[in-house]
C-alpha cells in the first residue's frame, strides 16, 4: 500500500469585530464599504423586517457606494428550512452573485442562521455580515458563527460553522420590536447572568422593576456584556468541542419544551422554562444554593417570561423530544443508550456539563413545574 500525505496545516485568522451602538447604520455601511470586500451586497431579510427597515438599510448601504439587492423570505422558525436556503442560493445565481458578493443578514436569529448557512455553501463559501434586529440575535445568535436550518428530525440538524466578517448591532432596530419578541431575547441575557456574571441578573431585575427594560443605556450595557461573555467562550471553543456547551444552559430541556409545544412557545419562553428546570436540577443534584437559584427564577419572572410548563404540554412529550436532542451522544458501548448532556450550575457563574440525569429526578422536576 502506497501512501501520500496531503499536508494542510497553517495559521488561520477568522477574527472579526462586533460593533454595538445606537444609530450606527451609516457607520456600518461605511465599514462594509471600506472592508475590501466587493461592492456587491445582497441583503437577506424577512417580510416583517423588510417592511420596517428594508428601505432605510438599503439606502444607507447605497449611500456608502455599495450596490444592493434585497431578498425577502417569509418570517418565522417554520421557514428555517433547507428549502429557504436553496431559495437564497437561487436568488444569488439569478443576480449573478459570485464568491466576492457579500451577504447581509438583516433580521433575527432565523434570518441570521439561514443567511450564514447560505453564505457557507453558496459556491463553497462567500462572506457575510450580521445585522441583527432582535434582542435575541443581538445578545446571542449573531455571534459565534453557528449557522443552520431545522429538519423534521430536529432543530439546527443541518448547518455549518461559518464566521461572519463583522457584526453590526444597532439598538435602533429594537424600537420596533414587539414586546413578546423583545422579552424572548432577555432570556438569553439572563442565561449569561446565570452562567457567568450574576450582576446581569440584578441589572435585568432592577430594570424590569423600574420599567426601564427599553432604556438605551441598559440595552447597550446588557448587549455589550452578553456579547463579551459569548465571544470569550467562542474564542476558547469555536466548534463546540467542550466549553461552548455551557451556552446550552436551559437549552436542552428548552428545545424539548419548544418542540413539544409545536413551536407555539417562542424560543425565549422555552429557554426560560428550560433554565428554570436546569436551576431546580442544579439545586437538587449539585448543591446550588436556593437563594442563588432564586436570582435566576426571579429575573425570569420579573421580565414576564414563564417558569412553568403550560398545562397542555405533556411531560411525556417533553421527555420524548429530549431523546432527539442533537447534543446527545450516542455511545455504542452502553447498549445504544443516549447520553444527554445537561448544563448545570453549582453556583451562579459556575456552569459545567452533567451527562445523563436520572429519569425519575427529571420527571419529578418537570412535574413540579407543571402549570
Backbone angles phi and psi of 226, in degrees to 5: -65, -45
196 labelled catalytic: no
Hey, which residues does 169 pair with through a beta bridge? Answer: 20
DSSP-derived secondary structure letter, 144: S
341 labelled catalytic: no
Q: CB within 8 A of 358, min separation 6: which ones? A: none
205 labelled catalytic: no
Among residues 108, 127, 148, 254, the one that binds its own copies under rule CB under 8 A: 148
Residues between 31 and 70 that touch its own copies (CB under 8 A) = 38-40, 67
Nearer to its own copies, 145 or 306 (CB): 145
Residues between 67 and 86 that touch its own copies (CB under 8 A) = 67, 82, 86
284 labelled catalytic: no
Cα distances from 209 to residues 184, 189, 190, 213, 219, in angstroms, run 17, 16, 15, 9, 15
Cα distances from 289 to residues 73, 302, 362, in angstroms, run 46, 20, 19
321 labelled catalytic: no
Start-end of H helices in 177-245: 179-195, 199-209, 216-236
Among residues 291, 330, 335, 360, the one that binds its own copies under rule CB under 8 A: 330
Interaction pattern, residues 2-31, with its own copies; x per rule: CB under 8 A: xxxxxxxxxxxxxxxxxxxx--x--x----
- Piece in contact with its own copies (CB under 8 A), picked from 43-51, 55-63, 234-242, 341-349: 234-242
Q: Which of 191, 230, 245, 321 is catalytic?
A: 230
11 labelled catalytic: no
188 labelled catalytic: yes
Measure the CA angle with vertex 25, ends 23 and 30; round to 5°. 130
251 labelled catalytic: yes
Among residues 51, 55, 62, 90, the one that binds its own copies under rule CB under 8 A: 90
Q: Positive or negative, the Cα torsion across 196, 200, 201, 202? A: positive
Q: Positive or negative, the Cα torsion across 157, 161, 162, 168? A: positive
- Piece in contact with its own copies (CB under 8 A), picked from 51-59, 126-134, 325-333, 360-368: 325-333
Regarding 98 and contact with its own copies (CB under 8 A), the answer is: yes
244 labelled catalytic: yes
Measure the CA angle with vertex 363, ends 359 and 364; round to 5°. 120
Regarding 94 and contact with its own copies (CB under 8 A), the answer is: yes
Nearer to its own copies, 76 or 242 (CB): 242
CB of residue 346 vs its own copies: minimum separation in angstroms? 26
Q: Which of 80, 183, 244, 245 is catalytic?
A: 244
For every residue of 123-143, DSSP letters joined together read TT---EEEEE-SHHIIIIITS
CB of residue 366 vs its own copies: minimum separation in angstroms? 23
Among residues 70, 214, 284, 338, the one that binds its own copies under rule CB under 8 A: 338
Residue linked to cell 469555536: 238
Cα distances from 277 to residues 179, 274, 282, 318, 331, in angstroms, run 24, 5, 8, 12, 25
CB of residue 190 vs its own copies: minimum separation in angstroms? 20
180 labelled catalytic: no
CB of residue 117 vs its own copies: minimum separation in angstroms? 8
Nearer to its own copies, 233 or 369 (CB): 233
* CA 268 – CA 258 distance, rounded (Å): 9
Residue closest to 218 by CA, chosen among 236, 199, 232: 199
CB of residue 364 vs its own copies: minimum separation in angstroms? 27
Residues between 160 and 179 that touch its own copies (CB under 8 A) = 160-161, 163
* CA 251 – CA 253 distance, rounded (Å): 6
Q: Which of 80, 155, 162, 267 is catalytic?
A: 267
Nearer to its own copies, 273 or 322 (CB): 322
Measure the CA angle with vertex 300, ends 297 and 301; round to 5°. 85
Q: Which of 251, 280, 321, 354 is catalytic?
A: 251
Total residues binding its own copies (CB under 8 A):
79
Q: Active-site residues: which are they?
A: 124, 146, 188, 230, 240, 244, 248, 251, 255, 267
Amino acid at each position: 500500500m502506497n501512501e501520500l500525505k496531503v499536508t494542510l496545516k497553517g495559521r488561520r485568522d477568522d477574527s472579526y469585530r462586533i460593533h454595538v451602538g445606537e444609530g450606527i447604520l451609516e457607520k456600518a455601511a461605511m465599514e462594509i464599504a471600506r472592508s475590501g470586500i466587493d461592492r456587491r451586497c445582497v441583503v437577506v431579510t424577512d417580510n416583517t423586517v423588510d417592511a420596517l427597515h428594508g428601505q432605510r438599510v438599503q439606502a444607507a448601504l447605497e449611500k456608502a457606494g455599495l450596490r444592493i439587492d434585497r431578498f425577502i423570505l417569509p418570517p418565522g422558525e417554520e421557514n428555517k428550512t433547507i428549502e429557504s436556503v436553496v431559495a437564497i442560493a437561487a436568488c444569488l445565481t439569478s443576480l449573478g452573485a459570485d464568491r466576492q458578493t457579500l451577504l447581509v443578514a438583516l433580521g433575527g436569529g432565523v434570518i441570521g442562521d439561514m443567511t450564514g448557512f447560505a453564505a457557507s455553501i453558496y459556491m463553497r463559501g462567500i462572506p457575510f455580515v450580521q445585522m441583527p434586529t432582535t434582542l435575541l440575535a443581538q445578545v446571542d445568535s449573531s455571534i459565534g458563527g453557528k449557522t443552520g436550518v431545522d429538519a423534521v428530525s430536529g432543530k439546527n440538524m443541518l448547518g455549518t460553522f461559518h464566521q461572519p466578517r463583522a457584526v453590526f448591532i444597532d439598538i435602533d432596530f429594537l424600537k420596533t420590536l414587539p414586546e413578546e419578541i423583545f422579552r424572548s431575547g432577555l432570556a438569553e441575557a439572563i442565561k449569561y447572568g446565570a452562567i457567568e456574571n450574576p450582576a446581569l441578573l440584578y441589572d435585568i431585575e432592577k430594570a424590569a422593576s423600574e420599567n426601564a427594560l427599553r432604556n438605551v443605556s441598559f440595552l447597550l450595557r446588557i448587549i455589550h456584556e452578553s456579547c463579551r461573555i459569548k465571544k470569550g467562550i467562542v474564542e476558547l471553543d469555536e466548534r463546540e468541542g467542550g466549553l461552548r456547551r455551557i451556552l446550552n444552559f436551559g437549552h436542552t430541556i428548552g428545545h424539548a419544551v419548544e418542540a413539544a409545544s409545536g413551536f407555539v412557545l417562542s424560543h425565549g419562553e422555552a429557554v426560560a422554562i428550560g433554565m428554570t428546570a436546569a436551576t431546580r436540577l442544579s439545586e437538587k443534584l449539585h448543591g446550588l444554593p436556593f437563594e442563588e437559584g432564586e436570582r435566576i427564577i426571579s429575573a425570569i419572572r420579573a421580565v414576564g417570561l414563564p417558569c412553568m410548563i403550560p398545562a397542555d404540554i405533556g411531560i411525556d412529550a417533553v421527555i420524548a423530544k429530549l431523546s432527539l436532542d442533537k447534543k446527545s451522544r450516542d455511545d455504542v458501548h452502553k447498549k445504544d443508550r443516549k447520553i444527554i448532556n445537561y448544563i448545570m450550575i453549582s453556583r451562579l457563574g459556575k456552569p459545567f456539563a452533567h451527562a445523563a440525569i436520572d429519569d425519575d429526578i427529571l420527571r419529578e422536576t418537570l412535574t413540579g413545574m407543571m402549570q
